[in-house]
């Protein structure tokens, strides 16, 4: 399998695992030193360093805003391009918050790979919708690094 084919398999497995809610597989695709760069200026935004910070602070805080039975992440997804180092994909997100408000978003991800793992993620989405719907009190921590994304 070429590096491009392997990277395509990783991004496809990432999205198909999100659909199923298979966080064990999602986490296994991440390098322990993964960096998530989240667009915007909210408490959820910034540079999140390390798999534990992403999956023990950031992701649980986002998901805790949503009614579990209504949440449909990556119901629709597409891989836009893949090369030897990176892949870009789009995914949908639909849910209802605990306050009855509707989340209807498209996420764009740019993934960088290292040693058959995702080592860096740039995530772009409707920041105004996120700031309106996500309760900042649910976030028990912060990336610690706000400001423009580094490329």
User: What is the extent of the structural domain holding 78?
Assistant: 3-137
Residue 148 lies in a domain: no
Residue 7 lies in a domain: yes
Predicted pLDDT at 120 = 97
CATH number of the domain residue 43 falls in: 3.10.450.50
CA dihedral over 11, 31, 144, 96, signed as positive or negative: positive
Count up the domains in the chain and report the number.
1
Residue 20 lies in a domain: yes
Segments in the chain below pLDDT 70: 141-151
Predicted pLDDT at 44 = 83
Residue 146 lies in a domain: no
Within 13 Å, how many C-alpha atoms sit on residue 131's CB side?
A: 10
Element (H, E) at 24: helix 23-28
CA 97 vs. chain centroid, Å, equals: 18
Q: Which residues pair with 106 in a beta bridge?
A: 92
Residue 82 lies in a domain: yes
Residue 80 lies in a domain: yes
Residue 144 lies in a domain: no
Residue 89 lies in a domain: yes
Predicted pLDDT at 3 = 97
Predicted pLDDT at 43 = 80
């Amino acid at each position: 399998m070429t590096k491009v084919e392997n990277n395509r398999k990783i991004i496809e497995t990432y999205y198909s695992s999100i659909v199923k809610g298979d966080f064990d597989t999602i986490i296994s695709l991440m390098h322990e030193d993964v960096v998530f760069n989240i667009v915007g200026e909210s408490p959820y935004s910034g540079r999140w360093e390390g798999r534990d910070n992403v999956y023990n602070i950031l992701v649980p805080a986002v998901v805790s805003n949503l009614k579990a039975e209504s949440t449909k992440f990556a119901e629709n997804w597409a891989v836009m391009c893949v090369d030897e180092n990176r892949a870009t994909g789009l995914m949908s997100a639909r849910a209802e918050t605990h306050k009855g408000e509707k989340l209807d978003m498209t996420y764009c991800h740019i993934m960088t790979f290292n040693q058959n793992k995702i080592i860096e993620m740039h995530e772009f989405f409707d920041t105004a919708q996120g700031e309106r719907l996500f309760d900042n009190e649910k976030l028990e921590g912060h990336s610690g690094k706000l400001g423009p994304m580094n490329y």
